[in-house]
Structure 1
Amino acid sequence: MKNKAAQSKAWKTVQVARHPDRPQFLDYVSEIFTEFDALHGDRLYGDDGAMIGGLARLDGQAVMVVGQHRGRSTREKLQHNFGMCNPEGYRKSQRLFDMAERFNLPVFTFVDTMGAYPGVGAEERGQAEAIAVNLAQLSNLKVPVIATILGEGGSGGAIGIGVADRVIMLSHSIYSVISPEGCASILWKTAEKAEQASEALALTADKLQKMGIVEEVIDEGEGAHVNPQEVMDKLKVVLTKALQDLQPMDADERCEARYQRLMKFGSDNLGLTA
């Protein structure tokens, strides 16, 4: 009975993370930051509507903001490719990270994607390579990097902008190597086992915090779509505090701490406690 209850809780979290009225990246940008100016294109192939980024200010300080946006209406979803980035989206973010490094701008990334776009064209244009370069680049940035999981954090599509000094999750967001449906289809040959898979994946914020994968969880009550302003206000406080903690650190020291944070994953230092 205990396992069944836990499964139901995990699956409920998945449903809330996917709620159609849940605030999205641009909603948070408009409330938390000011003077946001989006920059476009990867200077190689084209622009990707799923990945949006640009210059902004947080309480007056210039910062770089990058995130995935899914869209709500059918037209918007198509424009933003349902939040599933192509290689040019990750290469656009690489360009913005380079700019942030050049001008000493702290980087804020916001994850909300089912995963990177798996189409043939994306693979032909170097999807895996683009994500891999992002991982290397974010690992070595000298400026502070703070990532927030807003809704779904799916697979390499999420981790492509998820390497950071601090990772924050909303309490009804999820973060996983694969979707519950994808996991169930592989393990049990049917997506109908998605609820069981959601528990096995340990994709909820509370479990990931216990494991040390994320540093802070923002309580969103019944869901960010119910009290969006309250959740955004809480997130702004946490983001501001994280930046205040990270900025005084020496750049090399901060980079080393980020490296050590990553290296402890999978070690004996991590473990889900009962």
Structure 2
Amino acid sequence: MKNKAAQSKAWKTVQIARHPERPQFLDYVSEIFTEFDALHGDRLFGDDGAMLGGLARLDGQPVMVIGQHRGRSTREKLQHNFGMSNPEGYRKAQRLMSMAERFGLPVFTFIDTMGAYPGVGAEERGQAEAIATSLAQMSSLKVPVIATVLGEGGSGGALGIGVADRVAMLSHSIYSVISPEGCASILWKTAEKAEQASEALALTAEKLKQIGIVEYVVDEGEGAHLQPEQVMQNLKAVLKEALEELHSLDANERCEARYQRLMKFGSSNLGLAS
């Protein structure tokens, strides 16, 4: 009975994370930051609508903001490719992070994607290489890097902008190597076991903070779509706290701490509590 209750709770979180009225990247940008100036293109192939980014200010401080945007209407969803980035999206993010490094700007990334786009064209243009390069670049940035999971954080598509000094999650967001439906299809040969898979994946913010994958869980009550302004203010406070903490370290200390944070993943020091 206890396991069943836990499964139901995890599955409910999945449903809230996917709620169609849930605030998206641009909603948070307009509320938390000022003077957002979007930058476009990867200077190699084109501009990706799923990955957005540009210069902004956080309480007057210049920063670089990068995030995945899904869109709401059918037209917007097509324009933003349902939040699933192509290789040019990750290469645009790399370009913006290089700019941030050059000018000493903190980087804020916002994750909300089912995963990177798996189409033939994306694979032909080097989807795996683009994500791998993003991982390598983010691991060595000398400026502070703070990532936030807003809704779904799916697989390599999320990790491509998720290597950070600090990671925050909204309390009803999810972060996982695979979707519950995908996991169920592999393990049980049916997507109908998605609820059971959602618990096995330990994809909730509470569980991920417990095992040390994320540092902050931002309270959103019954869901960010019900009280968006309060949730955005809660998140802003967390981002400012994290940035202030990171500013107290010099660049080399910050890089080393980020490396050690990553290296503990998968070790005996990181495990589910019994």
Q: When the two structures are superposed, what TM-score results if normalisation uses the length of structure 2? A: 1.00
Alpha-carbon distance between aligned partners in 2 of 1:18 and 1:131, rounded to the nearest angstrom = 24
Report matched runs for 1:93-242 at 5 Å: 93-242=93-242
Q: Which runs of 4+ in 1 moved over 3 A?
A: none
**Residues 83-125 of structure 1, C-alpha deviations (whole Å, 9 max, x = no match):** 0000000000000000000000000000000000000000000
In angstroms, what is the RMSD of aligned CA positions?
0.4
2:256 partner amino acid: E
Alpha-carbon distance between aligned partners in 1 of 2:250 and 2:269, rounded to the nearest angstrom = 25
Give the gaps of 5 or more residues in structure 1.
none
Alpha-carbon distance between aligned partners in 2 of 1:246 and 1:152, rounded to the nearest angstrom = 26
Q: Quote the offset at 1:252 in angstroms.
A: 0.6
**What residue is the counterpart of 2:59 in the other structure?**
59
**Residues 123-151 of structure 1, C-alpha deviations (whole Å, 9 max, x = no match):** 00000000000000000000000000000
**What residue is the counterpart of 2:246 in the other structure?**
246
Alpha-carbon distance between aligned partners in 1 of 2:247 and 2:27, rounded to the nearest angstrom = 26
Q: Quote the offset at 1:273 in angstroms.
A: 1.0
Alpha-carbon distance between aligned partners in 2 of 1:268 and 1:186, rounded to the nearest angstrom = 27
Q: When the two structures are superposed, what TM-score results if normalisation uses the length of structure 1? A: 1.00
Q: Quote the offset at 1:272 in angstroms.
A: 1.2
**Residues 155-195 of structure 1, C-alpha deviations (whole Å, 9 max, x = no match):** 00000000000000000000000000000111111111100
Alpha-carbon distance between aligned partners in 1 of 2:156 and 2:183, rounded to the nearest angstrom = 15
Alpha-carbon distance between aligned partners in 2 of 1:247 and 1:45, rounded to the nearest angstrom = 35
Q: Quote the offset at 1:248 in angstroms.
A: 2.3
2:191 partner amino acid: A
Identical columns (%): 84
Q: Quote the offset at 1:16 in angstroms.
A: 0.1
2:272 partner amino acid: L
Alpha-carbon distance between aligned partners in 2 of 1:55 and 1:248, rounded to the nearest angstrom = 23
Give the gaps of 5 or more residues in structure 2.
none
Alpha-carbon distance between aligned partners in 1 of 2:82 and 2:96, rounded to the nearest angstrom = 22
Alpha-carbon distance between aligned partners in 1 of 2:214 and 2:248, rounded to the nearest angstrom = 21
2:142 partner amino acid: K
Structure 1, 264-273 or 58-67: larger mean CA deviation: 264-273
1:261 pairs with 2:258: no
Alpha-carbon distance between aligned partners in 1 of 2:22 and 2:273, rounded to the nearest angstrom = 30
Alpha-carbon distance between aligned partners in 2 of 1:37 and 1:248, rounded to the nearest angstrom = 28
